[in-house]
Structure 1
Amino acid sequence: MSDIVEAADKFIFQLFKDKLPNTFIYHNYKHSCRVHKSINEIIENSQIDVKDAKILRLAALLHDTGYTVSRENHEEEGVKIATEFLKEHNVEDDIIEGVKKCILATKFKDTVPNSELEKIIRDADTSHLGKDYFEEASEFLRQELQLQNIQKYTAEEWIDLNIKMLLEEHQFYTDYALKNWLPVKEDNLAKLFKDKKKKKEKIQKERVKAKLKAKYKNDSPERGIQTFYRTALRNHMKLSDIADTKANIMLSVNAIIISLVLSNLISKLDNNNYLIIPTAIFILFSAITMILAVIATRPNVTRGEFTKEDVEKRNVNLTFFGNFHKMELEQFEWAIDELLKDRNYVYKSLTKDLYFLGKVLDRKYRILRLTYTIFVAGTIISLISFAVFFYLEM
């Protein structure tokens, strides 16, 4: 590497580091190095004199420096930066002119390469199309366009765009590129077609799946039935939890009341005989309230067994633990297998479970209603009795 080429390499490294936005994940120092490497491939395998080789190497390194100024017309901006750099290093005018022409030749869609040097720089700049890392480089370019809010392409759109470019818009010009990079480019193109076919099949499969799912959802009552049972059972369980919470509140409140009465009033009854009857009434109603709260939450004991005939006649509800908790595992597994074979038996079991949950809730809430009624009535009667006996004592 000549001194000026080495200086150019150091120059662009520092330039890109200081001034190139980090959204340039494709057009950056790495890309310039790839183009420079591709230039060297062509030079080493072609009959190119030293002067032209220097022009090509300098153009490869400096061709994307314009991105540090503007994405639009970056070739022209790159020419300005390259010219200033080369003049500072006292490079000959004819070499500077050659570098400028090569940089402008990298305008992929707007120019046609006229000289051999322009063809070489054009091939080197687009050499990734004929390399194994084409897919990776292409994805970096897609992400760069997205990061800079230039254009957001879907994976499918990007494949179509790349197919169009490789098939219709791009071509290699040099003998070396045609011999070594074109076959790989054709492989990359074939892979794009293959990927497009796969994605098309996947999209079609997803559409069919979505269509069938929608049809199944609309036409089959299964989903509605399952939703009904799920919602109804969940609501019943929530109501059962609420009932237990209410009963616990009654237990806690009356336990506190009784403990306070026993600790504070009982010791004063010897000197205040008129308080005996109101206190007894108060304690009696609190005790009745606690007893009813316990009854409301008291679980029923079931036999926990079933026979083979019960399962065969569909008379046992296997969704409730109270019907099987004493059975052996093998018998329970057999019964579940029988249950799952018959969809109607499943729904029948769920219906039974729902029904008996409702019966339990009915019992709980009736007792709770009575519990709260007695608690309120007892409180009122107790307060009235305390007031009456206080009045009579005065």
Structure 2
Amino acid sequence: MQYREILDQLRTHVASLFQAHKDERFVYHNLHHTEQVVENAVRIANHYQLSDRDFFIVMAASWFHDMGYLFDCTQHEVRGESIAAQFLAEKEVDKDTIALVGGCIMATKMPQSPVGLLQQIVCDADLFHLGSDSFKERNKLMRKEVAAFCNKEIDKNDWRIKTIALFKAHHYHTDFCQQLLNDKKAQNLAEMENKLISPAEGGTTAVSTTGKTKKGEEPKRGVETMFRISSTNHQRLSDMADNKAHIMISTNSIILSVILSLLLRKLEDNPHLIIPTLLLLIVCVVTMVFSILATRPSIPEGVFTPADIEDKKVNLLFFGNFYRMSLSDYQSGMLKMMDDRDFLYGSLIKDVYSQGVVLGRKYRLLRVAYNVFMFGIVAAVLAFIVASAIVM
């Protein structure tokens, strides 16, 4: 099955349908939105390294998922599935694949209830913007579109209430989107809640969905979001560093095994290869040492004193500072920290700083490992070439 060729034809077909049934009221559910969903689906699908057939299913569903809006806004998923099935059948796509594409389209119906990874990818791609920087712009377009079809202006506050309800009912289904988008989605939700207007107070005070005043809440939310995002980013960078170190260790382990099993046996018959071989051996060992040092954990004593709590010197958010303490001592310290705003935020600052220090050490050692490997491999190869040329 020529999936790539069919996708190219599919893309052209969808664009022509949008052009033929163009409606100026569709400022949200238009070709641009569909292209964005497809782009999001490609990003998610590439993360999971789907097979060609599964990738085709996700892409086809993403292209057709909102086509039904052009014909029936109330049952657009059903119409979209029908349009997709008709087109794919004409391209002689097998019935099982067509059924899976239709299942992915129907899974986007609210409330979303996807079954399996492929449906989860399409659903997350469709509402990807809820956890992105483009949410505000997309939300305004959606409100404008609904107003155009209802022929009446929609109150901003009423729209926020409905959108907040959507946010709280929605969750991303794939691990990839949860890690990538949940923080920004929470930030977008917090901003909407802070802008929500209480009708009883004449539209002047930001309140929560329970009607309680949130005076001074926005800075607090911003600080907490900052700490959460910083900690998450540091964790991702740490994971990246560990993966890079693992690549170096694995690569040089293979080279070392080749050297020890093959080259060393031939040095007696080829003495001119002794120096290049030793050079390569040293390069691999040094690279492995620095890579291992980059991932080698260092653990503090794991004990704190009551004086440390009183002076607010200990960071109770890091396990290395309390893993040898009793539960009662740790619980007592945590309660004191949670009751003291300065102590709490000071601990968060220390935690972020400590993560940064550890990351700095990891990346410095990794840079040394990569430099040794890069320049060492070049030097070793040149040494082998020179040695071989001398013999010849």
Q: TM-score, normalised by structure 2?
A: 0.49
Greater gyration radius = 1
